[in-house]
Structure 1
Amino acid sequence: MALPNSLFFSSCSSPVGLRRSGISDSHSAPHFSSIESSIIRKNFSGCGSITNFSAKKNIVYAANEGPNAVSSTSLTDQDADYIPMPIVLIDQDSDSEATIVQLSFGDRLGALIDTMRALKDLGLDVAKGTVLTEGSVTQTKFFITRLDTGRKVEDPDMLERIRLTIINNLLKYHPESSEQLAMGEAFGVKAPEKKLDIDIATRIYVKEDGPKRSLLCIETADRPGLLVEIIKIITDVNIDVESAEIDTEGLVAKDKFHVSYRGAALNSSLSQVLVNCLRYYLRRPETDIDSY
């Protein structure tokens, strides 16, 4: 069920700048060792314009000037038996003008050009991207806006399509990730050996987050369409979703929603109603939503 675009509205007034990304405001590149320079050339050969470097965290920033603006390959060789934790994070709260998508799969992260093209096929513009390497983990961030409006993505159906598109691309180029993703079975790759007990995996609670909103935290077994289902449950009890952080971590979805009721934070009674409704549905995914 498509929901109104006004459902998501970030309360953060200032967009994420270079400082938030850990990138220097200066356009002069600091001195790099030969190893660091080699890594940068390897990761961004054929890119658009590379505007800034930060030696502290080895962050590379690239502006998007075409489909080949960001590319990345593995930085180190790992043991073949080791499979890192795949993480896909969609952040609606940190930037008032763009939806931030973060992808991490150890240092195996590759085929980012194809990921960008897949997002463009959804009618989205990848305005810019950053790649951060810390230790053995490579994290890639895309700043996404709608091509038709130039604004951040607000429709939960589209947010779910973005999430599933990125996961599908991850499975395509790293089929070994399916062993740690619930979507491995859903997309017909390899089902994960570990199965989560939904009763044990599901945790839901509401925290205070100022006088005008509350923070709803949900942790449950991941599955396709989960985001849209959660938001439908929330709106069915007349609670507004202001912004969200959607985190897919292996087999588990760890989502946070800033919610309010008639412009105010949820009281204890309404919070309990919301938690009970969500827990009832999430623990019984085969149950018809309209039955409770």
Structure 2
Amino acid sequence: MALAAFHHGLVAVAVAPAASSAAAASRVPRGGFLGLHAASPAPLATARRICCQSINSANVLGASSSKSDEAVPVPVVMIDQESDRDSTIVQLSFGDRLGALLDTMKALKDLGLDVTKGTVTTDSDVTQTKFHIMRFGRKVEDPDMLERIRLTVINNLLKYHPESSEKLAMGEFFGIKPPEKKVDIDIATHVVVEDDGPKRSMLYIETADRPGLLLEVIKIITDTNIDVESAEIDTEGLVAKDKFHVSYRGAKLNSSLSQVLINCLRYYLRRPETDEDSY
């Protein structure tokens, strides 16, 4: 008889004699968490070497494992405040290397969040896992909590997929190996403001990622008396690509205020060591 037990985010596998393996396999359900399908059973000689494995791993509950010589894909973490009226959407992809992400879901719950829905989609060789999360029955709006969510997801990715360390800016702070190529913050930083109707504007920011970046951006925006209505926060490897719907006294930003905001953000983001009161 083969036993599989989930405990504290780990899967413990005990291998029984081969004579009973066929009978046991017939009793294993085909569907996995969030509709994922279980990976094909490994040969007995291989299975004996599996003692303990994270359920974030691609070898558990459905995602296909990667070849050792395959190029490491770019991890992408997106926090979407726009698409769903009631919940915040967190989407994560890392090629086809992600499993069911039960450890990530538990980490989000440990922040006091409710995971109300989860979906998995596959497009070509990329598996995208999406969580709908709420806090106190509504979407998460506190910038500090949004940054904690972002860092929690990235930290879990670094923990269970250490090969992602050299592809993430956070690998320099929390990973086992910092990125070999660093982003030139002067070249990578772009700030654009465009009209998005008569009552709001769209602010686009692209810059080198670092811990606390979201809080820094929100502080600069609010210090210029501009309101943030919604946001989409993307972390693509070494770079952060964020979009904010902003307004000033219920209207879109005029050209003068837009330029002030752009100048403040460019100055601060390109010189993160600058005293925050100097801009």
TM over 0.5, shorter chain: yes
SS in 1 for 2:277: helix
CA contact under 8 A between 1:87 and 1:247: conserved in structure 2? yes
| Letter of the structure 1 residue corresponding to residue 244 of structure 2 | F
Shift of 1:271: 0.3
Normalising by structure 2, report the TM-score. 0.79
CA contact under 8 A between 1:73 and 1:108: conserved in structure 2? no
Q: 1:134 to 1:286 in 2, by over 3 A?
A: same
How many residues end up aligned between the 2 structures?
Answer: 228
CA contact under 8 A between 2:206 and 2:240: conserved in structure 1? yes
Shift of 1:73: 4.0
Q: 1:267 to 1:72 in 2, by over 3 A?
A: farther
Unaligned residue ranges in structure 1 (runs of 5+): 1-40, 51-67
Task: Say which of 184, 192, 200 aligns to 1:205.
Answer: 192
Say yes or no: does 1:278 pair with 2:265.
yes
Percent of aligned pairs with the same amino acid: 75
| Higher relative contact order (Cα pairs below 8 Å, separated by 6+ residues) | 1
Residue of structure 2 in register with 1:115 after alignment: 104
Say yes or no: does 1:75 pair with 2:64.
yes
Equivalent-residue separation in structure 2 for 1:81 and 1:139 (angstroms): 19
Say yes or no: does 1:193 pair with 2:180.
yes
Say yes or no: does 1:261 pair with 2:248.
yes
Residue of structure 1 in register with 2:77 after alignment: 88
Shift of 1:186: 1.0
SS in 1 for 2:77: strand
Task: Say which of 103, 117, 125 aligns to 1:136.
Answer: 125
Task: Say which of 87, 100, 103 aligns to 1:98.
Answer: 87
Pairing 1:1-292 to 2, within 5 Å after superposition: 44-45=31-32, 47=33, 72-75=61-64, 77-110=66-99, 112-146=101-135, 149-292=136-279
Equivalent-residue separation in structure 2 for 1:214 and 1:191 (angstroms): 36
Q: 1:135 to 1:267 in 2, by over 3 A?
A: same
Q: 1:288 to 1:73 in 2, by over 3 A?
A: farther
CA contact under 8 A between 2:227 and 2:248: conserved in structure 1? yes
Equivalent-residue separation in structure 1 for 2:254 and 2:169 (angstroms): 34
Equivalent-residue separation in structure 1 for 2:275 and 2:175 (angstroms): 25
Which is worse superposed, 151-160 or 186-195?
186-195
Q: 1:111 to 1:170 in 2, by over 3 A?
A: farther
Equivalent-residue separation in structure 2 for 1:99 and 1:268 (angstroms): 31
SS in 2 for 1:220: strand
CA contact under 8 A between 2:162 and 2:175: conserved in structure 1? no
CA contact under 8 A between 2:158 and 2:175: conserved in structure 1? no
CA contact under 8 A between 1:111 and 1:173: conserved in structure 2? no
| Letter of the structure 1 residue corresponding to residue 98 of structure 2 | L
Unaligned residue ranges in structure 2 (runs of 5+): 1-28, 36-54
| Letter of the structure 2 residue corresponding to residue 135 of structure 1 | S
Shift of 1:189: 2.0
Q: 1:142 to 1:84 in 2, by over 3 A?
A: same
| Letter of the structure 1 residue corresponding to residue 79 of structure 2 | I
Residue of structure 1 in register with 2:51 after alignment: none
Equivalent-residue separation in structure 1 for 2:158 and 2:100 (angstroms): 11
